[in-house]
Structure formats: C-alpha cells, structure tokens
Structure 1
C-alpha cells in the first residue's frame, strides 16, 4: 500500500519536483509504507514466538535494510554479498538466516565467522560441506532442513519453489534420514525445519497444506528423539499488483493459520517476507521519450527499460502505469516499451491510459521488490538512482551510476598470462 496523496505525491513528496534534480528513470521508496507493512505483520503475529527475517533479495538497498534493522527485523540471505549488506546496514549476525541451494564453502566460512544465526540446508552435499567448514572453525552451526512438500502454490511457474520438480529442498524421507544420522555431523546441529513454496501467493490454502505437513513432521521427529527448535515458514505472501484482479491474503488470517497449525509447537517460528514488505512501497518514475505510430498500434517509448525493471519481461508481470500529467484528450491504448534492443523490453501491451506526449512523466507502481535488486547494465545503461522518501523528505540512497563506475572493473588486455 503505497502512501500516495493525490497524483504524483508519494509519502508527502511531489515526485514531479524531484525530476529537476534527479534524472529519470529512478526508483522511489516510501519509508512510511514499509513501516506500516512491517507493523501490520508484527501486530498480526502478536503473542507468538516469531522472528521476522526480511528476504534481502527483494530489495537490498542499504537504506531499506537500515530501516528494517531499526524496526527489529532480521535478514534472510542467499549469498555472502547479501550478508555483508545486512551487517553493514546494522542487522545483527545473530538475526540472519542463510538460505539458498548453492552456498559455497567459502560463503559458509564467512557466515560462520560472522556468527549468523542459522543455515537452511537444501541437499546432503551441502550438509557435508557445512560439517567440514564448521569443523575447520571448531564451531557448531545451527541448521534447518528445507522440506519440499510438493505443494502447488498456484503462482507463476518461475517463482514456484515447493513442487517436486523444483530445485529447492528435499523430501521428508530424505530429511528423516539426515536426522537419524545426525551423530555423523558433530559440528552441525540439525534442530530446525524450513519450507518455502513460492512467491506472490494469493490464496491461503497452499500455505495451510504445506504448514500442516511440516507441523506433523516436526512432531514425528520430536517423538523419535530429534527435537525441533525452529520452523522457518518462508515467505510468499502476495501483493496487489493489479487492482480488481489480485486479492492478497489477509495478513491476520495468515497469522491465525500459523497460530492454529503450530499450536503444539513451542519453538520459534521464522518468517521470510520480502515482496510483502517492500513491493507496494516503491515506484519507478520514467519519462516518455516519444510516441511511435506503428502499423497496427501506438508505442509509448519511455526512458526506463527491462534492465531497470525485469519483471514484465521475465514473468509477464503486470504493473500499473500511471501518467503524472493532467492533460485531457481521452484514453489511448499504448504498448509501453523501453529503449533496449529486445522485443521483450515491454512494460505493457495495449494498455489504456490518458493520451501522452514526449516529456510526460509516468509512474510504474509496486516496483519496490525485485526491481532495482534485479537490474543490470544491459545495453551499457547505467544503474538508476534510488531515493528514500519519508513524510515530506527525500534522500538519494543510490546515485545514478556514471560511465566510469560502470566500466571500473574492466581493463584492456595489456598483460597476457599463461595458466
């Protein structure tokens, strides 16, 4: 829920005035909206032994992470780089969970040295690697086994993670085998379970099915002498990208489901929300470059591109696109496209909106998650600026990348070496 106050105002700031000092395209995030969403989740979980660890991959800007730290939120990371971001922003290592299928031994060593709280383990090889690395440091790593419950989350195939054909997690039979052999891993304490079935989930039933399986499995493990101290229920709560189409799960109903499902569990429930906390707090501001009349349609060419916001090209994702001008003239159907040399560089197809002209500003809504964090330099386009807005104030929290910064790690082949 973006804190909009009339057309072009976000969290007390007139976005149209910002373009005089910040060139388009740029991202703007509402600190008030993030606080509101975090507060709603914390309130819904009231009375539970629950820990919220924000999924850094959704938006890893240091200012966003610092805001999370100040609200008592931990971090769910999937790389050593995300760990360093979280630590740099002030999130304590003891409130960081390390997830992901491809953790390297070096990343594990960095995480153990930093003192992260626990690891979510996704394969037998990873378990063996963590044992080796932890033994080298003479420490005991806390770990949870990620379960794949083979539940269809009813979301886009590319963000579904809990079905048998997905790369994530292991079967309960395999997990049970790990627990039975836990004595072979003296430097890894298997005392947790983890499940995450996908992202942008808009119905409660897939969550309920997955959680019921995990709760029953935790009880079975405890009965066989393997007590479970934490259950990580992942993230996945969807948001409203398209009005009149997306109906998100009520956070209070979600929390009530968790409370009922884990009523007999006395350990810690861990949540890993990402999109839910930041998506609707962010917008991408772009400017119309020109209108191109095609043989069968009109193309609205803007200065933002798929390298700035990949979701439409990657997932066919819908984002509301709102012109920030008040000119009349009736609605027109446009294909909204960027300047990148790919047909996939398309934000919307045959979208109806007020007539535009070159120079007009557009707001691409709900872009606070998986926007800037997935951006690239494709077509040698600089990374966009990012701004934090807060009750009438704004701060540039990442300046627009310069050409020199873009090529800083490159060099000419002046010195040749042999292996």
Structure 2
C-alpha cells in the first residue's frame, strides 16, 4: 500500500516512518533487519539517543544554573549504548548497584562520572562502593548513613529524600516512587534531622540533595512536579554547604496518540522558578526520555486467527522481554512493518508466554497482518531488555545499535 493511502500514524517522525509501504528506522528497512537478525530483536538508534540527550541539555541551559546529566542505566545497560555515551562524552551515569558501577566503568565511564543511588543497600554493597573514592554516593536511609560512616569517614555524600508526593505517566500509581502511601524510597521529613545528625557524627559532608518521585510524567503532570520541587527546596534550605540538587529522572515520552510530548522548555522553566536563584548545580537522571523512543522490538506474527469476535495476533516474544504493559499497565503499541492493502481492523496482540497477562495491546486498529509478518513494538528502548527474564525459557533475543 502506498504511504499516501494511509494517514500518518501518531508515532511517525524523521527516521521512523513508512516509505513506499515499508517501515524504516534509523535509515534502515525494518523488514530487512528482521530477516538479517531474526526475531525477537531489539533495535536502537544511536542518532535518536544523541538527539534526546542534546534536547535535555538545551533545555537545562535555559535554567541559568550549571548542570550535570546522568543517564539512568537501569533503563538500558546494553554495552554499545553505554560505550557510545562514554566515548562521545554525552553524559554521566546514574547507577543503582555495584555491578552497574563496574559495568559502566567497563564501558568507558570514570568513577567521577557516576552518581550512585540505591535502596536496601547491604554491607557488602557498601564495602565495594567505599573502594571507589571518586564515586558520588547518595544515601536513602539513616541505616545506610550509619553503616557507611565507618567505611567512608570524611566523604562527600548525597541524601535521597522522600517529599511524600509522587508523579508519573497518566497519574499511574504504579509509577510513583513517593506519595500518600509510605514507600521504601528516601528519607522523610520526620527523619531528616536524624539523617543530618548521623551524617555529621560520621563526618560525612552532605553536598547533594537527591529525589526521584516517579516515572513517565508529561505536560499534564508538570504542576504537581513543581509542587514536589518546592517541597524539596524546604529540605535543601536546611543543609549548609549544599552544592547540588539532583532531581532524579522520570521524564516521559508519548505512549498513545492522545499523549502530547513533554515540553522541555516548560520543564526547564519549572526548575528555573524553583531553583534558579539557589546557587546550586542542577543534576538530572533521565532514562526513559533518553532511550525509550530510540528502540524497537521486532517480533514475528506466528498465529493470526479470530476467536469468537476477537482477532488475535500471536507473536514470538512475551512480557518477559517487554514487561511494561503487564507490570505497569503502560501502553506498548505494536506497529506493522509492511502496509498491506485493506482496512484497519481492531486486533489483540499477545505474546508467547503461558500467562494471562501476556498481552501487548487489545482492540488496537492495525492494517492487515498475515502470519510470518514482522511487527515492531515502539518505545522498546527502555525497561524492556534490561528487565528481561527467562520465564518459560523464552528469554532469548538479540540487540543491535544502529549508527
């Protein structure tokens, strides 16, 4: 089907769109890549990653404050992506385990490029982390401070706080790291003085305040995010000698046609209003925004049939390699890689795992799909391969970074 016979899809953009009826991504014909690498395969665009990081840097320039950008590598730890970032000095790293720290260093990052923030940190973790003298550590519990002190006396550290407010995609509570309900993350206001006293007792210098309150927020959530930053400022004002405020990540991307892309100018304006005159360095830790829309997951339609009144498309990958629809109720839109003639029909796209929740989309209008066609899941660059498992022993896939 010529492209002109089908209205543009909401997700189409430069280097991700149909050309003469075939989906092209990062300058490549997706069907050809599927034949070359097989399925399931994750494809990532180096250019899109560069562009996304550049967009964040451009926005941060408008805050009037110095800034540091740390990529949340838990979103996607594929070594070629990290090597690209380190080799081109695109950003630093946000790590959340000793293994992530060592993996990042193996890909070219220096200790001083890495900010470490984790929860339920063990003594074994602390023993390992204390050996990295130039690694920045953010502590999210009084217990962590108490146990880190004897191992790292005199060290500069950060405190991760919990402002008791959360924000996330579509106000999805599953994506809130803080809020009305008590969570495991960060130090609450009621404990904050104790945390400062514990740090001082062990001669730990608190130079950074850290918070991360949720994932995937867009424009509609910016007013709440501004309230969160205002609350964080009340914590910051209690710390003499504070140098930096780390605002965490959470910047989201559109998942459906009804979503509007995050306005980074408006996002940066919030930072400027709250912290523009603070004298602090601004730190951010995006993951989703950097890599999510830079990735596709290629799958083969192996079963196409109607059951009762529902048209099912079964594919050769499941929620074990792309967890967000099942775990977080996040829309994950499958798209065709070849536009066939015929009307769009509502379909349910389901994976190959023997679990009822293994469904990628329900009632999604798609152009005609035949068995052995290749489908692509958009927004598969973050929290997919990195969270994969071998459930049902179907955890095999490939990853390819396209330049």
| Fold conserved between structures, TM > 0.5 | yes
Q: Does 1:141 align with 2:141?
A: no
Cα distance, 1:199 vs structure 2: 0.4
Q: Does 1:128 align with 2:143?
A: no
Q: Does 1:55 align with 2:72?
A: yes
Instruction: Please give the alpha-carbon distance, in whole angstroms, between the structure 2 residues aligned to 1:248 and 1:128.
Output: 42
Q: Which residue of 2 aligns with 1:3?
A: 15
Q: Does 1:200 align with 2:213?
A: no
Instruction: Please give the alpha-carbon distance, in whole angstroms, between the structure 1 residues aligned to 2:77 and 2:327.
Output: 20
Instruction: Please give the alpha-carbon distance, in whole angstroms, between the structure 1 residues aligned to 2:310 and 2:17.
Output: 33
Q: Which residue of 2 aligns with 1:398?
A: none
CA contact (8 A) 2:226 2:270 kept: yes
Q: Which residue of 2 aligns with 1:13?
A: 28
Q: Which residue of 2 aligns with 1:172?
A: 189
Cα distance, 1:173 vs structure 2: 3.3
CA contact (8 A) 1:2 1:280 kept: no
SS at match of 2:101: helix
Cα distance, 1:260 vs structure 2: 2.3
Q: Which residue of 2 aligns with 1:284?
A: 297
Instruction: Please give the alpha-carbon distance, in whole angstroms, between the structure 2 residues aligned to 1:313 and 1:264.
Output: 43
Instruction: Please give the alpha-carbon distance, in whole angstroms, between the structure 2 residues aligned to 1:13 and 1:71.
Output: 26
SS at match of 2:293: helix
Cα distance, 1:339 vs structure 2: 1.3
User: Map of 1:289-304 to 2, 5 A cutoff?
Assistant: 289-304=302-317
Cα distance, 1:45 vs structure 2: 1.3
Instruction: Please give the alpha-carbon distance, in whole angstroms, between the structure 2 residues aligned to 1:129 and 1:17.
Output: 54
Q: Which moved more, 1:45-54 or 1:175-184?
A: 175-184
Q: Does 1:67 align with 2:80?
A: no
CA contact (8 A) 1:332 1:353 kept: yes
User: Map of 1:30-49 to 2, 5 A cutoff?
Assistant: 30-46=45-61, 47-49=64-66
List gaps (5 residues or longer) in structure 2.
1-12
The CA RMSD over aligned residues, in Å, is: 1.7
1:29-84 superposed Cα distances (whole Å, 9 cap, x missing partner): 01111111101111111252110111011011111112222233111111111111
CA contact (8 A) 2:321 2:389 kept: yes
CA contact (8 A) 2:296 2:378 kept: yes
Q: Does 1:379 align with 2:395?
A: no
List gaps (5 residues or longer) in structure 1.
391-419
Instruction: Please give the alpha-carbon distance, in whole angstroms, between the structure 2 residues aligned to 1:190 and 1:40.
Output: 30
What TM-score results when the alignment is normalised by the length of structure 1?
0.87
Cα distance, 1:2 vs structure 2: 7.0
CA contact (8 A) 2:75 2:287 kept: yes
Instruction: Please give the alpha-carbon distance, in whole angstroms, between the structure 1 residues aligned to 2:75 and 2:140.
Output: 21
Q: Which moved more, 1:148-157 or 1:278-287?
A: 148-157
Q: Which moved more, 1:90-99 or 1:167-176?
A: 167-176
Q: Which residue of 1 aligns with 2:4?
A: none
SS at match of 1:32: helix
Cα distance, 1:109 vs structure 2: 2.3
CA contact (8 A) 1:192 1:230 kept: yes
Q: Does 1:269 align with 2:282?
A: yes
Counterpart among 114, 123, 144 of residue 105 in structure 1: 123
Q: Which residue of 2 aligns with 1:96?
A: 114
Task: Identify if the C-alpha distance between structure 1 residues 182 and 152 changes in structure 2 by more than 3 Å, giving closer, same or farther.
Answer: closer
Instruction: Please give the alpha-carbon distance, in whole angstroms, between the structure 2 residues aligned to 1:59 and 1:193.
Output: 25
Q: Which residue of 2 aligns with 1:239?
A: 253
1:317-361 superposed Cα distances (whole Å, 9 cap, x missing partner): 212221112221222221111111111111111211112111111
Q: Does 1:333 align with 2:333?
A: no
Q: Does 1:362 align with 2:375?
A: yes
Instruction: Please give the alpha-carbon distance, in whole angstroms, between the structure 1 residues aligned to 2:356 and 2:309.
Output: 16
Instruction: Please give the alpha-carbon distance, in whole angstroms, between the structure 2 residues aligned to 1:2 and 1:35.
Output: 14
Aligned residues: 380
SS at match of 2:331: coil
Cα distance, 1:183 vs structure 2: 3.1
Q: Which residue of 1 aligns with 2:9?
A: none
Q: Which moved more, 1:14-23 or 1:281-290?
A: 14-23
CA contact (8 A) 1:375 1:383 kept: no
CA contact (8 A) 1:289 1:302 kept: yes
Cα distance, 1:97 vs structure 2: 1.1
Instruction: Please give the alpha-carbon distance, in whole angstroms, between the structure 2 residues aligned to 1:383 and 1:115.
Output: 37
CA contact (8 A) 1:2 1:281 kept: no
Task: Identify if the C-alpha distance between structure 1 residues 193 and 353 changes in structure 2 by more than 3 Å, giving closer, same or farther.
Answer: same
CA contact (8 A) 2:53 2:90 kept: no
Q: Which residue of 1 aligns with 2:363?
A: 350
Q: Which moved more, 1:55-64 or 1:327-336?
A: 327-336
User: Map of 1:387-402 to 2, 5 A cutoff?
Assistant: 387-390=400-403
Cα distance, 1:196 vs structure 2: 1.1
